Amino acid sequence: MALNFNSDIHYTPYVDESDLDPAIKLIESGLSEPYSIYTYRYFVQQWPELCLLARNEHEKCVGVIICKLEPHPARRRHSSLLRGYIGMVAVDHAYRKRGIGSTLVLNAIDIMKRMGADEVILETETKNKGALSLYEAVGFIREKCLCRYYMDGSDAFRLKMWIGKPEPLVTL
């Protein structure tokens, strides 16, 4: 891992199904949107290196990030351009405000960059001030507002971070 700001917290990559249950419990307790087991498995089976867990000194999972990396949909003809996506981030309420979420995000971005990503995107609720503050502090910007994005009808912001070399502008 690239970064570790918490001496009593250690960060590990997803290993196998035994890591999935604690990750799901943490995500379900912290996020408002429900996900099926198939959604979790879609991410962890295809991109296990982009699923990271933060564990305390007793090996309890206190933070998790689940991501993916795919060819950029708008630029598929350029197969070398990849877009990272942060699907889920959750930190146990008792462990918040200790840099765990930021460390998970920065480590995941570092891995995505080494894998060839030129940008990373995510969505978060417009009313989730803690998440917005975390993402903007590490360098994400608000790209657009997605009206009624979530199942409960609430809005989301799509956030983006460019991490690769920008493409040259084409003049006509």
Q: Give the pLDDT confidence of 123-165 residue by residue, as tens digits.
A: 999 999 999 999 999 999 999 999 999 988 999 999 999 987 6
H helices within 2-126, ranges in order? Answer: 17-30, 37-46, 100-114
Compute the half-sphere exposure of residue 171: CA atoms within 13 Å on the CB side of its CA: 0
**Strands (DSSP E) along the chain, which ranges?**
10-13, 51-55, 61-71, 82-91, 117-125, 141-146, 156-162
Angstrom CA distances, 55 to 35, 41, 62, 92, 132, stand at 22, 21, 5, 10, 23
In tens, the pLDDT along 46-100 reads 999 999 999 999 999 999 999 999 998 776 565 577 999 999 999 999 999 999 9
Report the distance separating Cα 141 and Cα 94, nearest Å. 28
Question: What pLDDT score was predicted for residue 161?
Answer: 97
Domain ranges of the chain: 10-162
Right CATH for 10-162 from 3.40.630.30, 3.40.640.10, 2.60.40.10, 3.40.50.460: 3.40.630.30
Report the distance separating Cα 71 and Cα 96, nearest Å. 33
- Residue 134, both tokens: 């975390």
Read off the DSSP letter of residue 95: G
Angstrom CA distances, 31 to 68, 87, 114, 128, stand at 18, 11, 28, 10
Question: What pLDDT score was predicted for residue 78?
Answer: 56
CB atoms within 10 A of CB 80: 10
